[in-house]
Structure 1
């Protein structure tokens, strides 16, 4: 796809992979709107982003506020979901609050945001949603049960709406990308990460995923 002039929201633009999306799309001539959870983390969004926005995926008020702003001010051509948290360890060791927070960030909050932005996207030519869902959505792993299930839920939703939204001209891609060296595993919501083999390089991963949009 030619991204020149496209208005694209990158959810999780302060993360390593999200920042690489911003940089790559900026070089391609797109207008970038990047989100972060706090003013502090927003400093990690590349300066090439046209606008930095705050979004807390655990807060319905935050999600609604962002969606209302974008729907009123920005005709969106694309949404990239690159936000998430990870957790490790036996299923029984995570607390209910930890699991609930994970599901709000990885699944419920992202679905809520997409549903609110769908009509905005449907009004544009070649609109798209790209989600960095992860390989665990298709191949759940032991000691990553809650993370795997949150990603599987998101993948299931996106797979289902692929046909629904196609009728309105919105392409939906749920990428089951393998382990990528974003540093996310070193910042788990709970538990301790196992020793992973070397993963994909973030810049290359971002370029590969953007190439799936047509």
Structure 2
């Protein structure tokens, strides 16, 4: 897709990764709509993106995710892409992570983006894009992160099935599976404490690669062992 003039909803625009992606898209001429949970943080982010509409949603409320899509469509006069750049993480052995924590992870990491994209698929046409960040854990589950890994793998499976459903309609489904990024995400778990981790990758570099992937109608973005973002036309 041509990002110049493209109307893009970034859900999770108040986060480090979402903010980097918003800046990247705007720099390429896109018209972003910013979505987040906190009105004050949304207003702050919007200062760096003059003219961008803001919409509220709560990832624990699927109905609000759908409303955010329709609100963004109304504000922008249409939608060409929707990106989910939000999530929740928890740490701890599977036997120690409570059911409430697991439920929270699945609600935020699977049901919320699914609700967002379900609504998007009803209002977008050929050439449009839905994109989500799953992460390397979607294909390589990590000990001490069983429920988080499973929630991201579930979202990956959902995206893969939808990709097959919509391929003939001309809608593109893009999945990003980056490794650990320097966003502070692991420092804000809903439960547990992050184990020692290597230095995180640059979120701005990944945001630029995601924009490249959107422009080339790619299906997969991942990071190579040396940390280089790799864009693949077809998902593996």
**When the two structures are superposed, what TM-score results if normalisation uses the length of structure 2?**
0.85
Cα distance in structure 1, aligned partners of 2:174 and 2:119: 18
Counterpart in the other structure of 1:156: 157
Counterpart in the other structure of 2:62: 60
CA contact (8 A) 1:71 1:117 kept: no
The 3 A distance-change label for structure 1 pair 182 and 157 is same
Counterpart in the other structure of 1:41: 41
1:161 is displaced (CA, Å) by 1.1
The 3 A distance-change label for structure 1 pair 66 and 187 is same
1:16-31 equivalent positions in 2, closer than 5 A = 16-31=16-31
Counterpart in the other structure of 2:225: none
The 3 A distance-change label for structure 1 pair 37 and 141 is same
Counterpart among 73, 78, 83 of residue 81 in structure 2 = 78
1:88-107 equivalent positions in 2, closer than 5 A = 88-107=91-110
Cα distance in structure 1, aligned partners of 2:55 and 2:4: 21
CA contact (8 A) 2:35 2:68 kept: no
1:205 is displaced (CA, Å) by 1.0
Cα distance in structure 2, aligned partners of 1:145 and 1:131: 20
Superposition RMSD on alpha carbons, in Å? 1.5
Cα distance in structure 2, aligned partners of 1:173 and 1:112: 16
Counterpart in the other structure of 2:234: none
Aligned length: 212
Unaligned runs of 5+ in 2: 217-236
1:68 is displaced (CA, Å) by 3.3
Cα distance in structure 1, aligned partners of 2:147 and 2:40: 28
Q: Which moved more, 1:159-168 or 1:180-189?
A: 159-168
Q: Deviations over 1:170-195 (max 9, x none)?
A: 11011111111111000011100011
CA contact (8 A) 1:15 1:44 kept: no
Unaligned runs of 5+ in 1: none
1:129-140 equivalent positions in 2, closer than 5 A = 129-140=130-141
Counterpart in the other structure of 2:112: 109
Counterpart in the other structure of 1:4: 4
1:168 is displaced (CA, Å) by 1.3
1:44 is displaced (CA, Å) by 4.8
1:40 is displaced (CA, Å) by 3.0
Cα distance in structure 2, aligned partners of 1:83 and 1:70: 17
Cα distance in structure 2, aligned partners of 1:202 and 1:89: 25
Cα distance in structure 1, aligned partners of 2:84 and 2:142: 22
1:71 is displaced (CA, Å) by 4.6
